[in-house]
A and B are shown apart, each in its own frame.
Chain A
Amino acid sequence: MSTKRIWKPCLGVLLFLLVTAVLSVPAQAHKVMVFAYQEGGAVYAEGYFADGKKAQDSLVEVFGQDGTKLLEGKTDTNGLFSFPMPDVPEIKIVLTASMGHRAECTLKVSDDVTADAAKEGASGAIPQNETAAAAVGEDRVRAIVSEELDRKIAPLKREVALLHQENGPSLTDIIGGIGYIMGIMGLLMYFKARRRE
């Protein structure tokens, strides 16, 4: 009688722990994908699984063209990881999720904004004469416009990146795959039958 009374809550706690443990683990099955885009001076890498779930707490490594590791970090709860744009023309982003899932993508770094900003900073420091002042004005305008443009098209860039992201396999893909399997089995049958003759 008394043991029964102890067992019941124990079982309840155990079940609760089990359920919370199960529920607290994010999606870890399936294929993982990663895509990256630039926004202002930062690069955003986003990881997600084939079913659309974000890849949370996944390791993101950033490599230069020559394969040297530039930096690494982990994605947040939205599957996002952002870092300041490295000073190289092209970066490779590798995302490693749990259970052996891995994805990579490359991103060409367009450094117009940073270059412009640098130019502005350098020439803006000492306005010497009339033409220099005019040049400064032009540079500054260019920098502001480019910055503003960047901000305006940021959502668009994101949209384009999202468009690029692959969705799960479509029905046609699946049926095509089944067709392949049937074809392979047919071939197998053919060769087995020939051997017997």
Chain B
Amino acid sequence: MHISEGICSPPVLAAGMAVAAAGVAYGMKKIDTENIPKVGVLSSAFFVASLIHVPIGPSSVHLVLNGLMGLLLGWAAFPAIMIALLLQGVLFQYGGLTSLGVNTMNMALPAVICYYLFRGMVRTGDVKRIALAGFACGFVSLTLSIAAVALTLLLTQKGFLVTVHVVLLAHIPVMVIEGIVTAFALVFLKKVKPEIIEVGT
């Protein structure tokens, strides 16, 4: 999920940087002082989720949680994801500084898209619909992210298209897990702290 330094061509990097900067600027405007702790907690969750690898069969996966972030934060997902990615890049060399923009775009844009797609379903307050929305949100956001990564790579190096469907197929278990985790997280939040999912940003 993290594109390393020196992979993407300069135009792709610049485009990613521009989209990320715009998203972060808009997200920052949307953050109220009361929402900052929420942004921080979700940023931390995202930061940690990418570092913990769960072995599944011959491969191992890690959660991304960008769907959950999108649903709970809306546009504020942009700054939250960027901060987490920046720290992952600086501390662990996951991704990199030059590809920060591209990585932020690839993960935050699907989050925001999912926010608009599923927020209505979550706000109905019905637990079953929330669970369903959570699953769909986790699944769709990760699918979009992987597709975005694939597209970014495709724009830089030709001949990657062949592996795109393989990569998408390989990530199906992760998407399902992501969906389940997101659904559980939302249902749990609905029970213990319903105002978090009903207010949004």
Q: Using a CB–CB distance below 8 Å, which chain A residues touch chain B?
A: 18, 21-23, 25-32, 50-51, 53, 96, 98-104, 168-169, 173-174, 176-178, 180-182, 184-185, 188-189, 192-193, 196
Given A22-B173, A50-B53, A102-B5, CB of A28 within 8 Å of CB of B61: no
Q: Using a CB–CB distance below 8 Å, which chain B residues touch chain A?
A: 1-8, 31-33, 36-37, 39-40, 43-44, 47-48, 51, 53, 55, 57-62, 83-84, 87-88, 91-94, 99, 149-150, 152-153, 163, 166-167, 169-170, 172-174
Q: What B residues does A192 contact at CB under 8 A?
A: 31-33, 36
Given A29-B59, A29-B61, A182-B44, CB of A21 within 8 Å of CB of B166: yes
- Whether B40 pairs with A181 at a CB distance below 8 angstroms is yes
16 more contacts with CB within 8 A, not counting A25-B169, A99-B167, A181-B47, are: A25-B170, A28-B59, A28-B167, A29-B1, A29-B53, A29-B60, A29-B61, A29-B62, A31-B94, A51-B53, A100-B149, A101-B3, A174-B51, A176-B91, A177-B47, A185-B37
B85–chain A nearest beta-carbon distance, Å: 11
Contact of A181 (CB < 8 Å), options: B6, B43, B51 = B43
Chain B interface helix/strand/loop/mixed: helix
Q: What B residues does A50 contact at CB under 8 A?
A: 53, 94
B61–chain A nearest beta-carbon distance, Å: 6
- Whether A169 pairs with B169 at a CB distance below 8 angstroms is no
- Whether B36 pairs with A188 at a CB distance below 8 angstroms is yes
Q: What A residues does B62 contact at CB under 8 A?
A: 29-30
Q: What B residues does A99 contact at CB under 8 A?
A: 1, 3, 149-150, 153, 167
